[in-house]
Amino acid sequence: MVSIEVPVFKGGWLIPCIESVLLQSSDQWSLSLLWDGGDELSRQILERVASLQDPRISVHFERNRGIAGARRVLSSRSQGHHILPLDDDDLLDPRAVERLLAEALAKPWSGIIRAQRRFVDEQGHQLDTAQWFPFEPRHYSRGMTTDLHNHCQPYLIRRSAYDLTTGWEGFEDFQYAGEDCDMFLKIEEVGSIELVDETLYYYRINPQRTSLELTKEAAFEMWRRLADLSIARIGLPIKRTNQSVPFEYERLKQEPLNNKLVAFVIAQAEGDGQLWKHTVQSLVDAGIDPDSVDVTRGRSPSASWNHGALHSTKPLVCFLTGGTSIESIETVDKVISAMEESQIDIVAPIGADAPGQAASGFAPWGAAACMVVRREVFRAVGGFDDTYSDPRASEIDFCFKAAQRDFKIADGPSIAVRDPSNIRSAINRESQQQLRERWRDWLGPHSFAEGA
């Protein structure tokens, strides 16, 4: 189900807005309307809609909270698996719910599904007006989004992704606007933004639209604030160096790392028996402080790693599976030195510095015994995807997500050993296919060798 959510402040075009929902080709929707202290016409219309007692439509009346506050209330009261924001003077294409929902179901890794919009005038006639914002994949530098203006309606938010964020928030001095750009930034930390190149929304150009009250200078100020807030939230060691989008960032000098600043997270997955004890003992024998070792249990190694990574605030995390052995504290030190000298964000035996070199198939990644990751990388990409049946596929997926955000990945020195018979087998076909579907558009159609 899709929860279509409309904060209502103006009544002039509210009726056609509601009608565009009623005319949807799919019936997989509910409509929530919140009167946000708006004009009298909008209140009268909503009172009439409420009197119809249509089970698909809920109407709420509140004081003026501003756009972010209104959206927050609507999302807290709705129950759809997906959230579709709609403004009270705009229109949905009749196929909007059907197409956006189909894409969301086909791409379960997505956090947001975004489509194209066109402009209409006060009478609803289409205008030949150039688009104001880009419609393309998001761009990143050093782990941070550069093109914060690369967003606009329509977009469908996966509820499970929304629930991992702090919800809708805006700026009081800008009438609580900025909530949409902020949501894109938050969601892309827990799920990807996928594009549907179809017009599914019509934005009405009219003299009462809220955007007229916000100047271009105000928009740039909001983007600057949001960029800085996102950098702080993720914990990226960078700072913004320019004043307008696309933003540029430079790396900040960090305190030197050492082996005491590494959290060792061992996945105790179901069915692994007592292998984790062997790994713990190897760490202790290598000279690792036992207080830096965390054994976590989950339905999969990926779920265990995600859980364990949240237990520590150390700047580096070493992810291990049961049965892996660390050779010595010196090998750990070598990895740390390599990461500092070359500003590497992930050390992982993926067989190539760049995912684009993956044309030979999955074989180069089969020997992954451990990964050393900067904590901000884990936060920026939302951790490991535990939907893969083969945990090694989740490692590859993690590296791809990190590379997409412009984090630096390298093989680096080897710090772990493992039974070769346990690591040379091919990743199962189900996980291979899942990886192909997830990353084909980004890497290109020939990046994965069929049958590898």
Give the pair of three-digit tokens for residue 184: 């894109």
Q: What angle do CA 411, 265, 384 make, to 5 degrees?
A: 70
In 188-328, alpha helices (H): 216-234, 275-286, 301-309
Give the pair of three-digit tokens for residue 230: 């996102």
DSSP assigned state of 421:
G
Q: Residue 278: what pLDDT?
A: 87
Determine the 3-state secondary structure of 4 from DSSP: strand
The architecture in CATH of the region 2-214 reads Alpha-Beta Complex (3.90)
Q: Do domains 2-214 and 259-443 have the same CATH topology?
A: yes
Q: Residue 229: what pLDDT?
A: 97
* φ/ψ (deg, to 5) at 262: -115, 130
Give the pair of three-digit tokens for residue 452: 């590898």
Average pLDDT, 10 consecutive residues per value, the chain (452 residues): 96 97 98 95 97 96 91 95 97 98 96 97 93 96 97 97 96 89 97 97 86 78 97 98 97 93 87 80 93 88 90 92 86 91 82 37 46 95 91 88 93 64 66 90 64 41
259-443 adopts what CATH topology? Spore Coat Polysaccharide Biosynthesis Protein SpsA; Chain A (3.90.550)
In 138-297, alpha helices (H): 159-162, 179-187, 216-234, 275-286
Where are the domains positioned within the chain? 2-214, 259-443
Q: Residue 349: what pLDDT?
A: 57
Q: DSSP string of 16-35?
A: HHHHHHHT-S---EEEEEEE
- How many CB atoms within 10 Å of residue 98? 18
Residue with tokens 């179809």: 198
Determine the 3-state secondary structure of 451 from DSSP: coil
How far is it, in rounded angstroms, from Cα 305 to Cα 328? 22
In 238-374, alpha helices (H): 275-286, 301-309, 329-342
**Strands 91-92 and 82-85: what pairing?**
unpaired
* φ/ψ (deg, to 5) at 348: -150, 135
How far is it, in rounded angstroms, from Cα 12 to Cα 20? 15
Q: Residue 286: what pLDDT?
A: 92
CA distances from 401 to 74, 252, 370, 378, 382 (A): 31, 22, 17, 10, 9
Contacts of 425 (CB under 8 A, 6+ apart): 366
Work out whether the CA dihedral 100, 103, 105, 111 comes out positive or negative.
Answer: negative
